[in-house]
Structures are given as C-alpha cells and as structure tokens.
Structure 1
Amino acid sequence: MVDKVRFAFTEVDSNLGALSTLPYLPITLSYRNQSLRGTGLLDSGSSVNVLPYEMGLELGAVWERQTLAVPLGGNLSRFEARALVLSATVEQFLPVELAFEVSLKRR
C-alpha cells in the first residue's frame, strides 16, 4: 500500500489569483450498493463534512430518515442536523467512514 500521494491544487477562478487555488482530491463515496465518484475539497481545519443534498439522494439516502443527530455550533446552532455515514475512498487508500451532515429544519 502506498502511504502518500500528491494532489495538485486546482484553480477555481483565475480572476482571484492565488486565492482561487484550492486543494481538491478525487473521492469515491459509497452508501449501501450505490457509489459516486467526484472531487472533494480538503479542509483540514473543518469540524464537519458537508455533502450536497442531491448527492445524498443519488446515493439512495433519505436524509429525513437519518437518526444520527449532529450538534451544530455558531450561527448554525439553531438548526437541527442529521448525519449520513458513507464509505469514502481516495485513490488506492483503504476506505474510511465519514459522517456528512445536512440541516433539516430550524429549531
């Protein structure tokens, strides 16, 4: 198994110069028997993973049926949030489980 891989930073908007270069990496997300390939923003300072609602639907998840509650902080603390646990694979590394949150409604 390879213990390191380098990924190039991706320029998002050339008008922003260096500020537009972000660390995206290829990722495969799996839930039950569905998989999606895409790119994810690597944010090592983030305390929460966010998955677009539509991607969850494509994987066959029903957000409203998720029972794992996630407490949100800051200006999101008034929202109820639930988590969806997915298997995530980057390149040839072993899959890991990641929890993604979605806000359901205001408290």
Structure 2
Amino acid sequence: MRNAERYPFLSSDTALGEASFRPYLPFTLVYQQNSITASGLLDTGASVNVMPYSVGVELGYEWERQTAALSLTGNLAQYEARVVLVQAIVGQFELVQLVFAWTQATNVPLILGQVNFFMEFDVCFYRSQLQFEIVPKQAAPD
C-alpha cells in the first residue's frame, strides 16, 4: 500500500464560516538555485497549473526569456501566460516536475490543476472532515 499524506482544508475568510474552507496544499517549488515554500489550491476544475507572476519572479524566472506562450481561459483569459517547468517537493514524497502556466496576473492563487498536478498525484477529498489526502501516482507495472 502506498503511503498517503493527509492535510487540512484551510479557511480563506473566517466571516464565511465553514463555506470558506479550501484544499490548500503546502509544498516547496525549486528552480535552479532558488526554492520557495508555497501553498497551492487544489482545483479539479482547472485545466492547468497556474503560477502567479510574483511567484515566478521570486523563483528567478525572467518573463522575456520564456518563449512558450499559452492562452488561459475564464477569469485569467485577459492575461498573458508562459509555460515554465518547476521541480516540486510535496510532503515526504520524491521530487516531481510540474508544468505551470506562469501568468502576469497577480491577484490569483497558485493553482494545482489537471495538467499536470492531478496527473502526478491521486487526491481524495474528505470535505465533511475538512481534510484531503494525496499520494503519488503508481508506477506502471513492468
């Protein structure tokens, strides 16, 4: 059996009571010699991982040097975005490479979406318990 790690939902606005709790995952992002501790919103409805502009700058990315552009949809459609690859340390699990849409938006949380967070990790939500559990994907059998 794989070792799963369990995390609590966190409140984003105490005035909303229980409705404000969201599944934020603490983890570390690593790019070259830089690393930062971050908290990402697990969003099963997001097509891609999204990194706010300030996080990319803090990691050492330079906007002008990122040449792979992509278009975001929804609330972020008005902002330019670039593809960046980042190493991530999630809990006690092995290092994993995540692909992010680095957006020029600054008022957006770091979002963990289908491509590729949910391709790398299995997640089980226990909303009634205000907890979620993650485990890395299983390696394909030989």
Shorter chain as denominator, the TM-score bin is: 0.7 to 0.9
TM-score, scaled to structure 1? 0.81
> Residues 18, 55 of structure 1: CA spacing in aligned structure 2 closer, same or farther, 3 A cutoff?
same
Matches of residues 70-81 of structure 1 in structure 2 within 5 Å?
A: 70-74=70-74, 80-81=80-81
Matches of residues 7-86 of structure 1 in structure 2 within 5 Å?
A: 7-74=7-74, 80-86=80-86
Separation in structure 1 between the aligned mates of residue 32 and residue 17 of structure 2, nearest angstrom: 41
Query: What is the alpha-carbon root mean square deviation over aligned residues?
Result: 2.2
Separation in structure 1 between the aligned mates of residue 75 and residue 86 of structure 2, nearest angstrom: 26
- Is the CA contact 1:12–1:20 (under 8 Å) kept in the aligned structure 2? yes
Separation in structure 2 between the aligned mates of residue 19 and residue 101 of structure 1, nearest angstrom: 28
> Residues 30, 42 of structure 1: CA spacing in aligned structure 2 closer, same or farther, 3 A cutoff?
same
Q: Gaps spanning 5+ residues in structure 2: where?
A: 105-142
Residue in 1 that maps onto 2:111: none
Q: Gaps spanning 5+ residues in structure 1: where?
A: none
**C-alpha displacement of 1:22:** 0.5
